[in-house]
Every structure is written in C-alpha cells, then in structure tokens.
Structure 1
Amino acid sequence: MLSVTARGVEIPALGFGTARMDDHDERVRAIAAALEAGYRHIDTAQVYGSESAVGEAIQKADVDREELFVTTKLTDDNRAHGDVIHSVHESLDHLEMETVDLLLIHSPNDEVSHEETLDAMNELRDDGLVSHLGVSNFSVDQTREAVAHSTAPIVTNQVEYHLHHRQDDLLEYCIDEEMMLTAYSPLGVGDALDEDVLQEIGDRHDKTAAQVAIRWLLQQPQVSTIPMSSSPDHVRENFDVFDFELTGEEMRDVFRVTGGLSDDLASKLDL
C-alpha cells in the first residue's frame, strides 16, 4: 500500500469514499467489501449520512481499529464553536469510535469564520477526540488562511481532482507545503474513462481505464484518492492498482489530454 506523508503524518494514499449511496445496508456491504479488499483509509462526512454505516462495517470487519485511517467532515450547519464540538461527539457515536483520525471543514462558509471553526477543531484535537485536521473544497488562498488560523497542521485539502478537472495551482501548493491533496471523484462522472489514452495505456498493462486513472493520481507527489463504488467488483478493481506503474511518458500522455504541463509543475512532478 502506498502512503502519503503530509505534515509528518503518514496516510494511506488510496482510500474508499462513501458519498452518493442512499441505502444503509448497501453502504455497509460496500465498506465491508472495501475493507476485505485491503482499503485502510475510509472517508465519510456528516452530510453523507454514512458515518453509522462506516461504524457498523468496521465493527463487523476483522480489522483492528489501529490499522485504519478514518476521515469525516463538518457540515455547513456545524461551523460555530459549540456546533463543532457537539456534532463531532455525535459523529464519534455514529462511527462507534473514541477518536477520528482526520476532521475536515467540508467547504468554505462565509457565515462563520474559519478561525472560529478551527479553534473548536483544535480544541477537539487537544482533547484527543480528533487526531488531525484538514479542509475540503478550499482554494489555495483559503487553504493558506486555514493554515494561518490553526495551531495544528492542516494535513490535507480534499477537492475534486481528475483528468477532466485539474487543480494544478493547488497541486503545486500542496507539493511545496508537504500537504496532501485528496482527490475525490477520481473517475469524474465516468466521462474520463472514455479517453482513448487511458484505454491504450491500460491495454499495455492489462489494466482497465479506471485503474489507469487511479494510478495516474497515485503517482503524483502528495496526492491520495478516494474512489467510491457500491459494486464489490468495482471496489476490488479500484484497489488493484499496486502491481503496475505508469512510465514518465505515460504520465505525460494523460496530462496532455487536458493541455499538458507547465514547466514548473512538470519539474515538481519529476516529469
């Protein structure tokens, strides 16, 4: 299993996402399949309504809690200091855990200052209820602001990032700051998988276009990704990406689909 070291924290580079599944039992089955396949990084959020499914699947799995890295996120309604504290206690109850590994601000919210939210998140960390802090859907400037307002390191910014939705500025920032960029929706809405270059590269490695798209992300410095699927076959397929490696030319070929690379980013990616 590859890992990303972010602000001194080692995090599994490939995780399992739990958004966009409505049925509790379906979620439990999918998460159970992910744990059985070898995923040890599980991503959930208060707004997904999947925390209880994550907790149930983990309780039933033959996996020690210490082996897992679990992330959850604050909803827009839970950004004031007291709401942060109360909602995280509820999240821990749903997860059936004493501590969550990573707590994120799910998205920017102008109604409550990041400083107030991060102050509460740091308090939870000091109390041992949260191990690490991060943000999601933040711009580079907003990420810098969060870093400035947090005593604890901001270890990640979780954003949409895939072949058809590049985040070059943020990627460069994360590489420079040794922060993790967590890529959600790594396959887009499925449209990325129609790109001929992914299928051609996959044929050379006896892999699918989806596996190439995930591997392309994992080979970028400071990038992790959290694909999700309710299909056990796809869950296993998305994890089966550690027995091959894209060449530098193949990495560049994928970047060329959406305009190639600047010299600065190519240098940071060692391409």
Structure 2
Amino acid sequence: MTIPAFGLGTFRLQDDVVIHSVKTALELGYRTIDTAQIYENEAAVGQAITESGVARGDLFVTTKIWIENLSAEKLIPSLEESLAKLRTHYVDLTLIHWPSPEGAVSVKESMLALMAAKEAGLTRQIGISNFPIALMQEAIDAVGAENIATNQIELHPFLQNRQVVEFAQKNDLHITSYMTLAYGDALKDQVINAIAQKHKATPAQVVLAWAMTLGYAVIPSSTKRENLASNMAAVDLQLDDQDMANIAALDRQQRLVSPEGLAPNWD
C-alpha cells in the first residue's frame, strides 16, 4: 500500500470555489484529491474531476466517514452515497474522520465495516484520522496494521506530534499531515523564512518539503493558481540536515484543531 506524498486538500472549500480549485490543480498536474463527507463538497469535487477529463485511473481520491456513519449498518451505505456524489465506483482511500465520541461506536466495529467496504471493492485502501495512540492500537488490534494505510493527523512545525509518529512508525503505519502550514502561521516564522531565503524558495515550500522529507504525506489546499503551482514545487525542494534540525526545534505542542465534544484524549 502506498499513499501519494503530495495532494490537494479541500477542507472549507465548497461549490464553485472547490470546483475551481480542483480543476486548476488537475490542470497543473495534481493527481491526489482529499475530501470528506462532512466537508459537504463531494458532489462538487466529483463534478470537477469529471469535467477535468483526467482518467479516473490516474487519480488518487480520499474521502472520510463522518462520526454519524461509523456504525456497521451505516458505514457502507454512507460510503456508497459518497461514491455517487463523487461520480466514481470506488475511492482509493477511505478514512474514519474522527474516532466515535466517547466510544459510542467501537473502533473495532468501524474498522471491520471499513474492511467489508474494501472487500466489496468500494475502496482500495482504508485508514484512520485524528487517532491518538490508544485508539491506533485498537484499530491495529481490529484489522492488523498491514490493513491501515495511514493515520491523518494535525502535524506542522509547531505541533510535531512525535509520540504518535513514533508509535505509528514502530507499527509500520504511515502518517498524513493535515494543517501542515498551521493556518498560515508557519509562513510567518523567522526560522522558516530564513530557510526559504537560503534555498530561494517560499516558506510554504519549505514547510511542505520538511514534512515530506520526514516521510509524511501532505494535502495543502489553495484557491489560487499561483499558490497551487508553487506548493507543488515543494516536491523537488531538498532541505539539508541543518534545515531539518532548525524546524524540529520549533515544536511547541501548539494544537490548532481540537473540537469540543469531538476530540479524543490527545497524546
């Protein structure tokens, strides 16, 4: 199982905005698109993909199951609805978006339902998102680490989530970073800007390259063509050991996403 290192996120983008973003990204050469049921943009993403003319087999499409659909009886029907909106017979990756609040639906039940969806050909790979160590272990116990393609977590220079990453790596679990630019805060950091000047790169390219150098996948979003193109160039940016060490020193456990009533017990 492999997760593309670089893709397009669509969080908070809807209607014509997300259609424009996805179509522009595909024109520029993006081939990985990340969406979710709760984003309420799957239909628009599906429209953009269809109108782009890019062959479905050339794309890697991810969606995520919302907490209301995590039970065994709801997960597959909700995924089938997502596929209809996306205008595709399958997605490449389906994630549990957030663990069920207060364990209302067990991790085991959701993971087994995801496995059933995979076996039915609705999704090529399955995974998790926003899972701390204890719940990662429950997911592994349910279906085996070899069946979990990634854990998509908030991870940026100011929240490097080292405990979760270390546990994931020990269990051969891949990490996908979301909020990699820290809502843009990372682009203002002096250390990151100094590295950007050194490499004649943008601060965004530096941060994205940092995450990919560590082996994480990244899914930055943008509505602007120039930013979409610039972000994509991060794939080719080579940071040196000193650059990586300087960014490693920026960690300050600054979590930006922790919705009340939804967030698990973070590590």
| Alpha-carbon distance in structure 2 between the residues aligned to 1:204 and 1:16 | 26
Where is the helix percentage greater, Structure 1 or Structure 2? 2
| 3-state DSSP of counterpart to 1:190 | helix
Q: Which residue of the partner structure matches residue 12 of structure 1?
A: 4
Where in structure 2 are there 5+ consecutive unaligned residues?
253-267
Determine if contact 1:33/1:236 at 8 Å carries over to the other structure: no
| 3-state DSSP of counterpart to 1:42 | strand
1:73-222 → structure 2 map (5 Å cutoff):
73-109=64-100, 110-150=103-143, 153-221=147-215
Determine if contact 2:3/2:149 at 8 Å carries over to the other structure: no
Q: Which residue of the partner structure matches residue 69 of structure 1?
A: 60
Q: After alignment, is 187-196 or 87-96 more displaced? A: 187-196
Q: After alignment, is 62-71 or 143-152 more displaced? A: 143-152
Where in structure 1 are there 5+ consecutive unaligned residues?
1-8, 260-271
| 3-state DSSP of counterpart to 2:2 | strand
Detail structure 1 runs of 4+ shifted over 3 Å in the superposition: none
Q: Which residue of the partner structure matches residue 5 of structure 1?
A: none
Amino acid at match of 1:240: A
| Alpha-carbon distance in structure 1 between the residues aligned to 2:3 and 2:112 | 24
| Alpha-carbon distance in structure 2 between the residues aligned to 1:144 and 1:214 | 28
| Alpha-carbon distance in structure 2 between the residues aligned to 1:198 and 1:179 | 28
TM superposition shift of 1:15: 1.1
| 3-state DSSP of counterpart to 1:12 | coil
Q: Deviations over 1:34-73 (max 9, x none)?
A: 1122221110000001111221111111322111111101
Amino acid at match of 2:177: A
Q: Which residue of the partner structure matches residue 38 of structure 1?
A: 29
| Alpha-carbon distance in structure 2 between the residues aligned to 1:75 and 1:43 | 14
Q: Which residue of the partner structure matches residue 3 of structure 1?
A: none
TM-score by length of 1: 0.88
Task: Tell me how many residue pairs correspond in the alignment.
Answer: 249
TM-score by length of 2: 0.90
Indicate the percent of aligned positions where both proteins have the same amino acid.
36
| Alpha-carbon distance in structure 1 between the residues aligned to 2:250 and 2:160 | 11
Determine if contact 1:32/1:58 at 8 Å carries over to the other structure: yes
Q: 1:115 to 1:242 in 2, by over 3 A?
A: closer
Note the aligned Cα RMSD (angstroms): 1.3
